[in-house]
Structure 1
């Protein structure tokens, strides 16, 4: 009987030890986050003597950190690279703080991540290519930072992405070809950046799109008639770009500013509307 019990006890002991080790490693990462982002001055502070599931904005399931939501909590400093070792993390929301520096390059390690919201901070640099390797990402929200560069060429690999919001940054360049493969996309907000190039007729592939906002960029060329194929589209603003040519009455009425554009010398113009 003892021979049968002993292995069972060893298995239980090993499992508890492994669980404890994982918990200790993840706890160390959160302590690091607290230290480097001015935890003593947070609006909602952590009592590090309490269990992790008692810490404000932290959700723990099965002894694993699955969510960190520290929105509007007076975080300062940089995002520690160690945060990318929380492999069970499904949500990371550090929005509406005073964070600076760059998005960790290996953010793509967080394969379970579904929501990444770093909006309304002071982040600089570009979108790491590794973000495109997040198979479960549903929301990428980076609004109102000081981010720049082009969208990663592989962005179309985010097949689960429903919300892409990058407004009020300094992104530039044309939308990559793979962008038009984001067929789960429901909301796209790219307004007030420096995007250029033509909007591909492949925009018609985004059949689930409900909100499209490209306001105040430098997109040019013809407004794709394929936008009319987006039957779920409820809100659209593509004005104050460099689009030219005629547009249908349907698209003109759908656009918030009725297709008011800028020309090459900066003058405000209205695109001619095809009646009927």
Structure 2
């Protein structure tokens, strides 16, 4: 009886082992869809992949390619920071519907900003800074409702900052600095309740700062210098209790009076056109502040 049970047990274990091996083999053979692989090849060819610092071996599986993250056989991340990409981004990028991270910062990308990028509704991080991209930031940027970080500083982007930016409720970092954006800062920017860093410096923005900016209770860094912003500093700035960095210099403000309502005990950086101010900040310890050119940028030594 024992022999019969033993043989039966051995047969069951052998079959189970066979099934496990088959499943492992199938998993090993699994790869991203051919269409997604082709989109990555488009990116490689469009941005002169043969001259990248870290190149891809297109004959190897996609999940071995530098900077590509694959999960459940779908491409969810592309991180090619400082990798000598040259040329335009392909329109086909917008077909990577599971993409969560696109970081191609600090490269030599040129051409128009592909409108298809703003169809990537699962995108959480979009970093395009330090390139030579042109075009406008479209209203469809508001489709990226999962976005936590949007950084495009130091490009040649132009046009107005779209009202759709206010739809990005989860956004924590927004840096549009050192571009050619013009016009007024949209009121909708005050709807970004989770925003911690906002950089708009070195553009062609004009008009009053919207009062709604005072709603950004989580904001720690606000850099608006080197524009043509005017009028008075909003009274609502007194509600920016978390602020640590505030840079306002080189604008056309006619009154700084409302800065006196701010809590200055947390400020580490405070730059404004002092000679134009009618306020004497007697309670502010300037000795512990520092001048800063804040770009919220990646560490280029990574």
Q: Place the TM-score, normalised by the shorter chain, in its bin.
A: 0.7 to 0.9
2:218 matched residue in structure 1 = 208
The structure 2 residue matched to 1:98, chosen from 101, 108, 114, is: 108
SS at match of 2:115: coil
Greater mean alpha carbon deviation, residues 44-53 or residues 225-234: 225-234
1:224-246 deviation line (CA, Å, top 9, x unaligned): 12212111111110111111124
1:154 matched residue in structure 2 = 164
1:34-85 deviation line (CA, Å, top 9, x unaligned): 1111011111000111111110000001101110001111111100000110
SS at match of 1:35: helix
Tell me how far apart the structure 1 counterparts of residues 188 and 273 of structure 2 sit (CA, whole Å): 28
CA contact (8 A) 2:135 2:156 kept: yes
2:227 matched residue in structure 1 = 217
Question: Structure 2 matches for 1:83-94, cutoff 5 A?
Answer: 83-94=93-104
TM-score normalised by structure 1 residue count: 0.86
Note the C-alpha offset of 1:249.
3.9
Tell me how far apart the structure 1 counterparts of residues 271 and 125 of structure 2 sit (CA, whole Å): 33
Consecutive unaligned residues of structure 1, counting only runs of 5 or more, are 1-15, 262-268
CA contact (8 A) 1:252 1:259 kept: no
Note the C-alpha offset of 1:129.
2.2
1:107 matched residue in structure 2 = 117
1:142-191 deviation line (CA, Å, top 9, x unaligned): 01101111011221111111100011111110011212111111100111
Structure of greater Rg: 2
Note the C-alpha offset of 1:271.
1.1
- Residues 199, 45 of structure 1: CA spacing in aligned structure 2 closer, same or farther, 3 A cutoff? same
Q: How many residues align?
A: 256
Question: Structure 2 matches for 1:1-276, cutoff 5 A?
Answer: 23-247=33-257, 248-249=259-260, 251=262, 254=267, 256=269, 258-260=271-273, 269-273=275-279
4+ long deviations beyond 3 Å: 19-22, 248-258
- Residues 131, 213 of structure 1: CA spacing in aligned structure 2 closer, same or farther, 3 A cutoff? same
CA contact (8 A) 1:132 1:157 kept: yes
Tell me how far apart the structure 2 counterparts of residues 258 and 229 of structure 1 sit (CA, whole Å): 19
Tell me how far apart the structure 2 counterparts of residues 275 and 49 of structure 1 sit (CA, whole Å): 64
SS at match of 1:122: coil
Note the C-alpha offset of 1:125.
1.2
CA contact (8 A) 1:104 1:128 kept: no
TM-score normalised by structure 2 residue count: 0.79
